[in-house]
Structure 1
């Protein structure tokens, strides 16, 4: 049985968002990809005030200098597709007002015929939190909890009633409603975040870190779910961030998912054996333009299917 494959949409500087997102989305659906995804990076501090992921001295990728807003990106893709799911992997939910975010996602789901997957993360950039101004960085976990609660309330039956630290809805009709319940998936890697996922989310958005390490994380999450009495399955979408090169990468220092289509698929095969429900391949780093991205996406899809993924 093959693994459903998703594709990251073109959001970076080398792409024309208004022209290339619809073009790539339409082509990806024709190729056979079953989902399309957008991620969030709100700004690029210069000079750097903090390392990547909060790790001192770790440089931010140059790609982060230009990242199109994820929900607008998905809206462009929704308008030209009919079948593919439309997901965020991930949207930094605490950078957004909970009520407005819930309404935006509901509208996108209603407009697309029930294809949205809400992938949330808590984020790590102090500068992004300062710019968004919703709540301080230290409150990100509490804000994420409220975002999830507000989404469930707003997407549910009217009248909507909610009382939280940020959001207060006395009693109101809120529409449009999603076409079907929107799955909420979380990017979580540590104890508190994993418990939030097990208790309140529909699924998990892990990042591919190597087959052995990623499989170990999945075991930990399943064990935690059993400990906390969860019986509902945890849906999983693995994110694979690729660094495409037109010719095979020859160095011994080849990073995970770095190289030509064949090398990317080699790493894909290793991770597919873990048993995730779906794998998202973000190929936008490396191609020079949308045409090359489409060609690479077609090549990776063909080789992946030939390899049994």
Structure 2
């Protein structure tokens, strides 16, 4: 069975949110993509108070200056499509009120006929936490734990009850309910994050940083799941942050998923061998507009399927 392929939706400055998101979503479904994805970036600090991912001296990408809200973007895509699944890779869960996030995702799943994938991460930006974090950034792991617990409670049968540090629900009916149990996938690279995933989540959202590194992380996660006696399979969706160029990248310094459509497909094929279920390709930051995004997405999909991905 071929690996599933997903596409990142247009959220950045060069796109018209109301027009381009439905247009690209419909086109991706027609091309054959299995899923559509969003990410979250709340703000772009000026001047930067920390580097990208908290790494000193690493600049933030210019595309982060303007990123549309992930749930609004997914809602636009849901209304324009019928089949594709709708996921976040990732939504920075501790920036959201747990109850409101759970209810919004349940409503979107009900409206879309059971197509939502809730992909959560803890984030890393001090400025985003200062602006909208429910708790300080040092508590982000505990907040994510509560978000997961609140989601499970709100999405489950009534009466809903939850007693936590942030959310207090004595006994209440909460609707609408999701059309089916919404899978929760986590971005998890540290040991502690992997433990949270194995114990409390349905799947994993890694980022494509190279075949060997990814294979090692996947093996470590599987080993931990076996060690903890997990019976449920771990769902997997790899995020491929692609940088498309019309000409092939020459030289030995090419990063994964950077270059021509042939080179992107070459990397898709290599990463597909690891045994993951799905790869989502985000091309939006390296193309001029929605038309080029649709054109490149079609070429990548067709060449990937022809190559056996």
TM over 0.5: yes
Pair 1:297-2:300 in alignment = no
Q: TM-score, normalised by structure 2?
A: 0.99
Equivalent in the alignment of 1:80: 80
Equivalent in the alignment of 2:271: 271
Matches within 5 A, 1:21-60: 21-60=21-60
**Contact conserved, 2:130 with 2:136, CA < 8 A, in 1?**
yes
Unpaired stretches in structure 2, ≥5 consecutive residues: none
Q: Secondary structure at the match of 2:197?
A: helix
Equivalent in the alignment of 2:115: 115
| 1:129-173 deviation per Cα after TM superposition (whole angstroms, max 9, x unaligned) | 000041100010000000000000000000101100000001100
| Separation (CA, whole Å) in 2 of partners of 1:251 and 1:289 | 28
Q: Secondary structure at the match of 2:185?
A: strand
Matches within 5 A, 1:124-203: 124-203=124-203
Equivalent in the alignment of 1:4: 4
User: How many residues in Structure 1 have an aligned counterpart in Structure 2?
Assistant: 309
| Separation (CA, whole Å) in 2 of partners of 1:231 and 1:250 | 45
Question: How far is 1:250 from its partner?
Answer: 2.2
| Separation (CA, whole Å) in 1 of partners of 2:133 and 2:192 | 24
| Separation (CA, whole Å) in 2 of partners of 1:231 and 1:251 | 44
Structure 1 consecutive aligned stretches of length 4 or more whose deviation exceeds 4 Å: none
Q: Secondary structure at the match of 1:285?
A: helix
Q: TM-score, normalised by structure 1?
A: 0.99
Question: How far is 1:254 from its partner?
Answer: 1.6
Aligned residues: CA RMSD? 0.7
Pair 1:68-2:68 in alignment = yes
| Separation (CA, whole Å) in 1 of partners of 2:107 and 2:276 | 29
Equivalent in the alignment of 2:233: 233
| Separation (CA, whole Å) in 2 of partners of 1:170 and 1:111 | 27
Question: How far is 1:233 from its partner?
Answer: 0.3
| Separation (CA, whole Å) in 2 of partners of 1:136 and 1:209 | 29
Equivalent in the alignment of 1:100: 100
Q: Secondary structure at the match of 1:37?
A: strand
- Deviates further, 27-36 or 282-291: 282-291
| 1:21-49 deviation per Cα after TM superposition (whole angstroms, max 9, x unaligned) | 00000000000000000000000001000
**Contact conserved, 2:94 with 2:133, CA < 8 A, in 1?**
no
Equivalent in the alignment of 2:219: 219
